[in-house]
Amino acid sequence: MRAVRQRPPSALLTTATLIVAGFAVLGMAACGSVDAPRTIEVTVPAGTTFDSVLDTLVTRGVVVAKRRFRLYARVTGADRRIRAGSYALKPGAPWGEILDELTSGRMMTFGMTIPEGFTIADMAPRIAETVERPADSVRAWLSDPDAHLPWGVPGPGLEGYLFPDTYRFARGVALDVVIEAMVRRYQRAWTAGRRARLEALEMSENELVTLASIIQAEARRVEEMPTISAVYHNRLRLGYRLQADPTVLYALGGRRDRLLYAAIDSVADNPYNTYTQRGLPPGPISAPGEAAIHAALYPADERYLYFVARADGTHIFTNSLEEHNRAREVARGRRSAVAKR
Protein backbone atom coordinates (compact mmCIF):
# COMPACT_ATOMS: atom_id res chain seq x y z
CA MET A 1 0.00 0.00 0.00
CA ARG A 2 1.06 3.50 -0.67
CA ALA A 3 1.69 5.58 2.46
CA VAL A 4 -0.72 8.45 3.09
CA ARG A 5 1.16 11.68 3.00
CA GLN A 6 0.34 13.93 5.97
CA ARG A 7 0.27 17.67 5.65
CA PRO A 8 3.16 19.15 7.63
CA PRO A 9 2.28 21.06 10.84
CA SER A 10 3.44 24.28 9.29
CA ALA A 11 0.90 23.87 6.52
CA LEU A 12 -1.89 23.35 9.08
CA LEU A 13 -0.89 26.50 10.91
CA THR A 14 -0.80 28.42 7.68
CA THR A 15 -4.32 27.23 6.83
CA ALA A 16 -5.66 28.24 10.26
CA THR A 17 -3.98 31.59 9.96
CA LEU A 18 -5.55 32.15 6.59
CA ILE A 19 -8.99 31.26 7.99
CA VAL A 20 -8.63 33.74 10.84
CA ALA A 21 -7.26 36.34 8.45
CA GLY A 22 -10.22 35.73 6.20
CA PHE A 23 -12.61 36.39 9.04
CA ALA A 24 -10.67 39.50 9.94
CA VAL A 25 -11.08 40.80 6.40
CA LEU A 26 -14.76 39.84 6.57
CA GLY A 27 -15.07 41.77 9.81
CA MET A 28 -13.50 44.83 8.25
CA ALA A 29 -15.83 44.61 5.27
CA ALA A 30 -19.08 44.78 7.22
CA CYS A 31 -22.38 45.30 5.49
CA GLY A 32 -23.27 48.94 5.03
CA SER A 33 -21.32 52.16 5.01
CA VAL A 34 -18.63 52.72 7.63
CA ASP A 35 -19.17 56.45 7.26
CA ALA A 36 -22.79 56.40 8.44
CA PRO A 37 -23.09 59.28 10.93
CA ARG A 38 -26.04 57.79 12.79
CA THR A 39 -25.43 55.83 15.97
CA ILE A 40 -27.82 53.58 17.83
CA GLU A 41 -27.89 53.05 21.57
CA VAL A 42 -27.67 49.37 22.50
CA THR A 43 -27.93 48.26 26.11
CA VAL A 44 -26.38 44.99 27.22
CA PRO A 45 -27.88 43.87 30.55
CA ALA A 46 -25.63 42.15 33.07
CA GLY A 47 -25.62 38.37 32.64
CA THR A 48 -27.06 38.39 29.13
CA THR A 49 -25.89 35.80 26.58
CA PHE A 50 -24.04 36.61 23.39
CA ASP A 51 -26.93 35.28 21.30
CA SER A 52 -29.28 37.71 23.05
CA VAL A 53 -26.88 40.55 22.35
CA LEU A 54 -26.67 39.46 18.71
CA ASP A 55 -30.45 39.37 18.43
CA THR A 56 -30.54 42.96 19.69
CA LEU A 57 -27.85 44.04 17.22
CA VAL A 58 -29.82 42.53 14.34
CA THR A 59 -33.15 43.94 15.53
CA ARG A 60 -31.68 47.43 15.91
CA GLY A 61 -30.06 47.25 12.47
CA VAL A 62 -26.47 47.37 13.69
CA VAL A 63 -25.67 43.96 12.15
CA VAL A 64 -27.26 42.38 9.05
CA ALA A 65 -25.42 39.08 8.45
CA LYS A 66 -26.32 37.37 11.71
CA ARG A 67 -24.73 33.95 11.14
CA ARG A 68 -21.47 35.28 9.76
CA PHE A 69 -21.22 37.83 12.56
CA ARG A 70 -21.75 35.07 15.15
CA LEU A 71 -19.03 32.94 13.51
CA TYR A 72 -16.66 35.89 13.35
CA ALA A 73 -17.22 36.64 17.04
CA ARG A 74 -16.57 33.02 17.99
CA VAL A 75 -13.41 32.72 15.93
CA THR A 76 -12.03 35.92 17.47
CA GLY A 77 -13.18 34.96 20.97
CA ALA A 78 -15.15 38.20 21.34
CA ASP A 79 -18.39 36.33 22.05
CA ARG A 80 -16.99 35.41 25.48
CA ARG A 81 -15.87 38.94 26.40
CA ILE A 82 -18.99 41.09 25.95
CA ARG A 83 -19.43 43.55 28.82
CA ALA A 84 -22.67 44.90 30.23
CA GLY A 85 -23.49 48.54 29.62
CA SER A 86 -24.94 51.00 27.12
CA TYR A 87 -23.09 51.55 23.86
CA ALA A 88 -23.39 53.91 20.89
CA LEU A 89 -22.92 51.66 17.85
CA LYS A 90 -22.84 52.66 14.20
CA PRO A 91 -24.90 50.50 11.80
CA GLY A 92 -22.72 49.00 9.11
CA ALA A 93 -19.48 49.60 11.01
CA PRO A 94 -16.73 46.95 10.69
CA TRP A 95 -17.51 43.95 12.84
CA GLY A 96 -14.20 44.25 14.63
CA GLU A 97 -15.07 47.82 15.59
CA ILE A 98 -18.50 46.81 16.88
CA LEU A 99 -17.08 43.96 18.96
CA ASP A 100 -14.25 46.14 20.20
CA GLU A 101 -16.83 48.57 21.61
CA LEU A 102 -18.78 45.76 23.26
CA THR A 103 -15.73 44.12 24.83
CA SER A 104 -13.66 47.16 25.81
CA GLY A 105 -16.26 48.69 28.13
CA ARG A 106 -16.22 52.07 26.35
CA MET A 107 -19.82 52.67 27.29
CA MET A 108 -22.04 55.62 26.46
CA THR A 109 -21.97 58.34 29.07
CA PHE A 110 -24.72 60.78 29.92
CA GLY A 111 -24.47 64.28 31.31
CA MET A 112 -25.76 64.92 34.82
CA THR A 113 -25.91 68.62 35.68
CA ILE A 114 -26.21 69.77 39.28
CA PRO A 115 -26.75 73.56 39.44
CA GLU A 116 -25.26 75.71 42.17
CA GLY A 117 -27.57 76.06 45.16
CA PHE A 118 -29.19 72.63 44.76
CA THR A 119 -30.08 70.79 47.95
CA ILE A 120 -29.89 67.03 48.32
CA ALA A 121 -33.66 66.98 47.81
CA ASP A 122 -33.13 68.78 44.48
CA MET A 123 -30.28 66.50 43.43
CA ALA A 124 -31.88 63.18 44.32
CA PRO A 125 -34.08 62.78 41.18
CA ARG A 126 -31.16 63.54 38.83
CA ILE A 127 -28.79 61.21 40.65
CA ALA A 128 -31.50 58.54 40.82
CA GLU A 129 -31.98 58.71 37.05
CA THR A 130 -28.25 58.26 36.55
CA VAL A 131 -27.89 55.30 38.91
CA GLU A 132 -31.27 53.84 37.89
CA ARG A 133 -32.60 53.62 41.41
CA PRO A 134 -35.79 55.02 42.99
CA ALA A 135 -35.46 58.71 43.87
CA ASP A 136 -36.82 58.18 47.38
CA SER A 137 -34.16 55.60 48.23
CA VAL A 138 -31.39 57.77 46.80
CA ARG A 139 -32.60 60.78 48.77
CA ALA A 140 -32.81 58.72 51.97
CA TRP A 141 -29.26 57.43 51.48
CA LEU A 142 -27.84 60.90 50.74
CA SER A 143 -29.75 62.50 53.64
CA ASP A 144 -28.37 60.14 56.27
CA PRO A 145 -26.63 62.30 58.93
CA ASP A 146 -23.67 59.91 58.84
CA ALA A 147 -23.41 59.73 55.03
CA HIS A 148 -20.30 61.94 55.06
CA LEU A 149 -18.22 59.58 57.19
CA PRO A 150 -16.68 57.46 54.37
CA TRP A 151 -15.81 60.47 52.23
CA GLY A 152 -13.58 62.69 54.37
CA VAL A 153 -15.81 65.78 54.44
CA PRO A 154 -16.91 67.59 57.61
CA GLY A 155 -20.63 66.83 57.55
CA PRO A 156 -23.10 66.51 59.13
CA GLY A 157 -24.25 64.41 56.19
CA LEU A 158 -23.44 65.26 52.58
CA GLU A 159 -25.50 68.43 52.24
CA GLY A 160 -23.20 71.06 50.76
CA TYR A 161 -20.40 68.65 49.89
CA LEU A 162 -21.75 67.21 46.62
CA PHE A 163 -20.27 69.81 44.33
CA PRO A 164 -22.42 71.48 41.66
CA ASP A 165 -21.07 70.74 38.19
CA THR A 166 -21.80 68.73 35.04
CA TYR A 167 -20.66 65.13 35.30
CA ARG A 168 -20.69 62.27 32.79
CA PHE A 169 -21.52 58.73 33.84
CA ALA A 170 -22.62 55.51 32.21
CA ARG A 171 -26.28 54.85 32.86
CA GLY A 172 -26.76 52.54 35.83
CA VAL A 173 -23.41 53.43 37.42
CA ALA A 174 -23.08 52.62 41.11
CA LEU A 175 -24.24 55.34 43.52
CA ASP A 176 -20.87 55.29 45.29
CA VAL A 177 -19.15 56.17 42.00
CA VAL A 178 -21.36 59.23 41.58
CA ILE A 179 -20.86 60.36 45.18
CA GLU A 180 -17.10 59.90 44.95
CA ALA A 181 -16.90 62.03 41.79
CA MET A 182 -18.95 64.82 43.36
CA VAL A 183 -17.04 64.81 46.65
CA ARG A 184 -13.68 64.75 44.86
CA ARG A 185 -14.79 67.72 42.79
CA TYR A 186 -15.69 69.55 46.01
CA GLN A 187 -12.27 68.77 47.46
CA ARG A 188 -10.51 70.11 44.36
CA ALA A 189 -12.17 73.47 45.00
CA TRP A 190 -10.11 73.76 48.17
CA THR A 191 -6.84 75.03 46.79
CA ALA A 192 -3.84 75.61 49.03
CA GLY A 193 -4.55 79.34 48.96
CA ARG A 194 -8.13 78.85 50.10
CA ARG A 195 -7.00 76.53 52.89
CA ALA A 196 -4.56 79.18 54.09
CA ARG A 197 -7.27 81.82 53.98
CA LEU A 198 -9.63 79.57 55.94
CA GLU A 199 -7.00 79.23 58.64
CA ALA A 200 -6.50 83.00 58.73
CA LEU A 201 -10.26 83.51 59.25
CA GLU A 202 -10.16 81.05 62.16
CA MET A 203 -13.20 79.28 60.81
CA SER A 204 -13.75 75.57 60.39
CA GLU A 205 -14.38 74.09 56.95
CA ASN A 206 -17.92 73.25 58.02
CA GLU A 207 -18.56 76.85 59.11
CA LEU A 208 -17.17 78.29 55.89
CA VAL A 209 -19.16 75.99 53.61
CA THR A 210 -22.28 76.64 55.68
CA LEU A 211 -21.80 80.39 55.22
CA ALA A 212 -21.07 79.89 51.50
CA SER A 213 -24.30 77.94 51.11
CA ILE A 214 -26.28 80.84 52.61
CA ILE A 215 -24.53 83.31 50.32
CA GLN A 216 -25.31 81.05 47.37
CA ALA A 217 -28.99 80.94 48.33
CA GLU A 218 -29.24 84.72 48.82
CA ALA A 219 -27.34 85.96 45.78
CA ARG A 220 -28.91 86.29 42.35
CA ARG A 221 -25.82 87.95 40.91
CA VAL A 222 -22.28 86.70 41.42
CA GLU A 223 -20.89 90.22 41.72
CA GLU A 224 -22.96 90.78 44.89
CA MET A 225 -21.67 87.70 46.67
CA PRO A 226 -18.69 89.40 48.39
CA THR A 227 -20.97 92.16 49.74
CA ILE A 228 -23.54 89.67 51.01
CA SER A 229 -20.64 87.80 52.58
CA ALA A 230 -19.52 91.02 54.29
CA VAL A 231 -22.98 91.47 55.85
CA TYR A 232 -22.92 88.01 57.37
CA HIS A 233 -19.32 88.24 58.53
CA ASN A 234 -20.14 91.56 60.21
CA ARG A 235 -23.22 90.14 61.93
CA LEU A 236 -21.31 87.10 63.15
CA ARG A 237 -18.54 89.28 64.52
CA LEU A 238 -21.01 91.49 66.40
CA GLY A 239 -23.05 88.56 67.70
CA TYR A 240 -26.16 89.47 65.72
CA ARG A 241 -28.53 86.77 64.53
CA LEU A 242 -28.05 86.17 60.82
CA GLN A 243 -31.79 86.34 60.07
CA ALA A 244 -31.25 84.60 56.73
CA ASP A 245 -34.52 83.58 55.08
CA PRO A 246 -32.97 80.60 53.19
CA THR A 247 -32.02 78.90 56.46
CA VAL A 248 -35.61 79.13 57.70
CA LEU A 249 -36.90 77.77 54.40
CA TYR A 250 -34.47 74.88 54.81
CA ALA A 251 -35.87 74.22 58.29
CA LEU A 252 -39.39 74.32 56.82
CA GLY A 253 -38.44 71.73 54.21
CA GLY A 254 -38.29 73.74 51.00
CA ARG A 255 -39.06 76.87 49.02
CA ARG A 256 -42.15 79.03 49.50
CA ASP A 257 -43.53 82.01 47.61
CA ARG A 258 -43.61 84.05 50.82
CA LEU A 259 -42.01 83.54 54.20
CA LEU A 260 -44.52 84.61 56.82
CA TYR A 261 -43.81 85.29 60.49
CA ALA A 262 -46.11 82.42 61.46
CA ALA A 263 -43.94 80.03 59.45
CA ILE A 264 -40.78 81.38 61.10
CA ASP A 265 -42.35 80.89 64.53
CA SER A 266 -43.39 77.33 63.67
CA VAL A 267 -39.73 76.27 63.52
CA ALA A 268 -38.47 78.53 66.30
CA ASP A 269 -36.52 75.72 67.99
CA ASN A 270 -34.97 74.39 64.79
CA PRO A 271 -31.17 74.89 64.77
CA TYR A 272 -31.42 76.09 61.15
CA ASN A 273 -33.71 78.97 62.09
CA THR A 274 -31.29 81.90 62.12
CA TYR A 275 -34.05 84.30 63.23
CA THR A 276 -34.17 82.57 66.62
CA GLN A 277 -30.75 80.88 66.87
CA ARG A 278 -27.45 82.74 67.06
CA GLY A 279 -24.46 81.94 64.91
CA LEU A 280 -24.31 79.66 61.91
CA PRO A 281 -26.59 76.64 61.46
CA PRO A 282 -25.13 73.17 62.11
CA GLY A 283 -24.29 72.61 58.43
CA PRO A 284 -24.77 73.80 54.85
CA ILE A 285 -28.27 74.32 53.46
CA SER A 286 -27.33 73.65 49.82
CA ALA A 287 -24.37 73.07 47.50
CA PRO A 288 -22.38 76.29 47.05
CA GLY A 289 -20.31 76.82 43.93
CA GLU A 290 -16.74 78.11 43.79
CA ALA A 291 -17.84 81.75 43.55
CA ALA A 292 -19.82 81.48 46.78
CA ILE A 293 -16.99 79.65 48.57
CA HIS A 294 -14.55 82.33 47.39
CA ALA A 295 -16.90 85.11 48.54
CA ALA A 296 -17.27 83.50 51.96
CA LEU A 297 -13.48 83.44 52.24
CA TYR A 298 -12.97 86.95 50.91
CA PRO A 299 -15.84 89.26 51.96
CA ALA A 300 -15.95 92.80 50.64
CA ASP A 301 -14.47 95.50 52.84
CA GLU A 302 -17.86 96.91 53.85
CA ARG A 303 -19.64 97.57 57.16
CA TYR A 304 -23.13 96.75 55.98
CA LEU A 305 -25.37 94.84 58.40
CA TYR A 306 -28.56 94.51 56.34
CA PHE A 307 -29.76 93.94 52.80
CA VAL A 308 -33.10 93.61 51.07
CA ALA A 309 -33.87 92.27 47.59
CA ARG A 310 -35.16 94.44 44.77
CA ALA A 311 -37.59 93.13 42.15
CA ASP A 312 -34.73 92.49 39.71
CA GLY A 313 -32.85 90.29 42.19
CA THR A 314 -30.23 92.85 43.16
CA HIS A 315 -30.01 94.08 46.75
CA ILE A 316 -30.05 97.33 48.70
CA PHE A 317 -27.35 97.23 51.39
CA THR A 318 -27.62 99.35 54.54
CA ASN A 319 -25.80 99.99 57.81
CA SER A 320 -28.63 100.45 60.31
CA LEU A 321 -32.05 99.03 61.07
CA GLU A 322 -33.64 102.39 60.32
CA GLU A 323 -32.03 102.49 56.89
CA HIS A 324 -32.99 98.86 56.33
CA ASN A 325 -36.66 99.52 57.09
CA ARG A 326 -36.71 102.41 54.62
CA ALA A 327 -35.03 100.20 52.02
CA ARG A 328 -37.66 97.53 52.58
CA GLU A 329 -40.42 100.04 51.86
CA VAL A 330 -38.68 101.15 48.69
CA ALA A 331 -38.15 97.58 47.54
CA ARG A 332 -41.74 96.63 48.39
CA GLY A 333 -43.06 99.58 46.40
CA ARG A 334 -40.98 98.69 43.37
CA ARG A 335 -42.09 95.04 43.51
CA SER A 336 -45.74 96.17 43.66
CA ALA A 337 -45.20 98.44 40.65
CA VAL A 338 -43.63 95.60 38.68
CA ALA A 339 -46.50 93.24 39.62
CA LYS A 340 -49.10 95.74 38.31
CA ARG A 341 -47.51 96.01 34.87
pLDDT digits (tens, 9 = 90+) for 192-212: 999 999 999 999 999 999 999
pLDDT at 28 > cutoff 70: no
CA distances for 52 relative to 23, 27, 58, 86, 292, angstroms: 22, 20, 10, 15, 51
- How many of the other CB atoms lie within 10 Å of CB of 189? 16
What are the tens digits of pLDDT across the range 101-159?
888 877 778 899 999 999 999 999 999 999 999 999 999 999 999 999 999 999 999 99
116 vs 31, more confident: 116
Query: Please, which pLDDT band fits residue 40 given cuts at 50, 70 and 90?
Result: confident
Across the range 182-186, mean pLDDT stands at 97
**CA-to-CA distance for 179 and 141, rounded, in angstroms?**
11
State the pLDDT at residue 337: 59
Query: Please, which pLDDT band fits residue 2 given cuts at 50, 70 and 90?
Result: very low
CA distances for 134 relative to 109, 144, 162, angstroms: 20, 16, 19
Contacts (Cβ under 8 Å, ≥6 apart) of 262: none
DSSP SS3 for 336: helix
Q: What is the per-residue burial (b if ≥16 Cβ within 10 Å, else e) of 280-315?
A: bbebbbbbbbbbbbbbbbebbebebbbbbbeeeeeb
Backbone phi, then psi, for 90, in 5-degree steps?
A: -100, 120
Query: Please, which pLDDT band fits residue 226 given cuts at 50, 70 and 90?
Result: very high
State the pLDDT at residue 340: 57
**CA-to-CA distance for 308 and 324, rounded, in angstroms?**
7
334 vs 223, more confident: 223
pTM: 0.77
State the pLDDT at residue 17: 47
Domains and CATH numbers, the chain: 24-104 (3.30.1490.480), 110-188 (no CATH), 201-304 (no CATH)
Across the range 329-339, mean pLDDT stands at 71
Query: Please, which pLDDT band fits residue 171 given cuts at 50, 70 and 90?
Result: confident
State the pLDDT at residue 210: 98
Please say whether the beta carbons of 179 and 162 come within 8 A. Answer: yes
Across the range 252-279, mean pLDDT stands at 91
Written as one string, the DSSP assignment of 195-252 is: HHHHHHHT--HHHHHHHHHHHHHH-SSGGGHHHHHHHHHHHHHHT-----HHHHHHHH
What are the tens digits of pLDDT across the range 79-89?
999 888 788 88
Please say whether the beta carbons of 147 and 158 come within 8 A. Answer: yes
- Mean pLDDT estimate for the chain: 87
What are the tens digits of pLDDT across the range 282-331?
999 999 999 999 999 999 999 999 999 998 889 999 999 999 999 999 88
State the pLDDT at residue 338: 56
**CA-to-CA distance for 310 and 205, rounded, in angstroms?**
32
Lowest mean pLDDT among 64-68, 177-181, 188-192, 223-227: 64-68
